[in-house]
Amino acid sequence: MNDAVTTAPGIVAVVLVTVATLAIGTWGLRFSRTTSDFFVASRTVRPGLNASAIGGEYLSAASFLGIAGLVLVFGADMLWYPVGWTAGYLVLLVLVAAPLRRSGAYTLPDFAEARLGSRRVRSLCSALVVGIGWLYLLPQFQGAGVTLAATIGAPPWLGAVIVAAVVLINVTSGGMRSITFVQAFQYWLKLTALLVPACVLLAVWAGDGAPNPADAAIPGDAFWSLPLGDGGAQGLYVTYSLIIATFLGTMGLPHVVVRFYTNPDGRAARRTTLVVLGLLGVFYLLPPVYGALGRLYASDSIVRASDVLVLELPRLMVPGLGGELLTGLVTAGAFAAFLSTSSGLTIAVAGVLSQDVASRRLSGITAFRVAGVAAVVVPCAVAIAAPDVGVARTVGLAFAVAASTFCPLLLLGIWWRGLTAAGAVAGLLVGGIGSGCAVGWTLLTSATTGWAAVLLGQPAAWSVPAALATMVVVSRATRSRIPAHAGRFMVRLHTPEAVDLAR
């Protein structure tokens, strides 16, 4: 795999995507003139562009590489990942999109502090943003290592280090400030990089007269088409827990919230989310195609890491230069996925770290740069030290933590006047510690059978209700301490901007 002909398209693709990312970032910088331009694009981004940017930031290594491999290995129950990641935006649309924009909060800790008027809640939210961000960055770096190892035969740590370095240069030099253009470009790049090879591969499959993928006889997976986990009641629990984590976790992802703030008003925030639903729906039609075709053409590679299926399949199905070029295109898309998602997450984590930790000792830009280094180095080191966790599974855990912490906080904060700071802290601790223990247990052990393993492997079904109930009960018990401005804040969250009211 190491001769120059087969590695050239992969290397060219990685270099081109990196250069294009830096170039568009710099080009977009020329339109940024004020501080407001830099941080929130002066809140004038139109729904179409903003939705592309959200799609570009959201579609990570897990979507681009993970799903196809999981579908190949485990079958139709893995289709719940893309369904949940899309439906999460519908839940976000109906429950939080417009109020979150109207709150004027730039990050989740900002929202918590503005709503509850408590520094303690803010600090706790900051810690959770850093934790979720790191957990989400980890599989991006792992995926980068897997990708470079598969396409150009590089050692696994190299990909992680390259992505980490590019992200760090981007974020700390300011090139990513014009992030909207970069992210929007990367959505369309990722869609093209998956769509074009998929069409070619489908044509090859039709031309081959090969059998229906559903008929491929692979011993030991009679239930490939059944959209449920294995093992009866346990499988049902795992599937529903995954649904809860993904449907409710999307709204709590730290890099998603920032993008809502760039909408001009609450109405535009809703329309943006609707376009996002469309963009994600189109994209997620494609990974299962790779998974299904992989059953026919790559069944012997099931034993290897399934995350490389999308990268290997063009080569396996199209011999010669054509296959290598398609592999180059897919590699470009995968690299765009790592860069866009990790840049967005790094900015979110570094923003919180610099505001709440580093700024106590350092000033402005220095604090942000130090925080950026910390935001990238920690997950990168873990990715190199522990490279064997499935990309989509780790991302699934990040969703479970987000669903158990920020989802109850946002839901109750937006729709219930009675939430108190004490209630929020108690609920965040219950949800965060519960799901956090589950995550640690899953990352450190490998047992997957028995109810204990099932409950800890997919914690959302018990940790989300526990966090919600704790918030409600403790808030009721401390109802004398409902923030004085709660009513005024409700007016700000829910009334249309056109109505003339004190906010």
Partner 1 sequence: MSAEPTSGTGGRPARVRVTGPPRRRASGVRPTASREIDADSELGAVYMSSLLGEQLRLAAGVLVALGLTVGVLPLVFHVFPHLSDLRLLGVPVPWLLLGVLVYPWLIVLGWFYVRRAEANERDFADLVADQPDER
Binding stretches for partner 1 (CB under 8 A):
76, 79-80, 83, 86-87, 89-91, 93-95, 98, 212, 214, 223, 225-228, 232, 235-236, 239-240, 243, 267, 270-271, 273-274, 277-278, 280-282, 284-285, 288, 292, 415, 487-488, 490-491, 494-496, 498-502
- Closest distance of CB 227 from partner 1, Å: 4
SS3 percent helix, strand, coil of the chain, rounded to 5, is 80, 0, 20
Q: What is the rounded CA–CA span in Å between residue 257 and residue 255?
A: 6
Nearer to partner 1, 245 or 325 (CB): 245
Nearer to partner 1, 79 or 382 (CB): 79
Nearer to partner 1, 36 or 299 (CB): 36
Residue in the block written with tokens 């069944």 = 299
Nearer to partner 1, 388 or 500 (CB): 500
- Closest distance of CB 420 from partner 1, Å: 18
Residue in the block written with tokens 């906080």 = 409
Nearer to partner 1, 278 or 450 (CB): 278
- Closest distance of CB 463 from partner 1, Å: 19
> Please, is 196 exposed, middle or buried when counting C-beta atoms within 10 Å of its C-beta (0-12, 13-18, 19+)?
middle
Q: How would you label 441-466 residue by residue, b for 16+ Cβ within 10 Å and e otherwise?
A: bbbeeeeeeeeebbbbbbbbbbbbeb
Nearer to partner 1, 26 or 495 (CB): 495
Residue in the block written with tokens 């990309």 = 391
Q: What is the DSSP letter of 62?
A: I
- Closest distance of CB 410 from partner 1, Å: 13
Closest CA to 247 of 136, 392, 391, 93: 93
The residues near 33 (Cβ < 8 Å, ≥ 6 apart) are none
- Closest distance of CB 249 from partner 1, Å: 15
- Closest distance of CB 281 from partner 1, Å: 3
Nearer to partner 1, 93 or 395 (CB): 93
Closest CA to 68 of 288, 390, 395: 288
What is the number of alpha carbons within 13 Å of residue 280 lying toward its C-beta?
Answer: 26
Nearer to partner 1, 135 or 411 (CB): 411
- 215: its two tokens: 């008929």
- 211: its two tokens: 């059998």
- Cβ–Cβ contacts within 10 Å for residue 207, how many? 8
- Closest distance of CB 170 from partner 1, Å: 32
- Closest distance of CB 214 from partner 1, Å: 5
- Cβ–Cβ contacts within 10 Å for residue 66, how many? 28
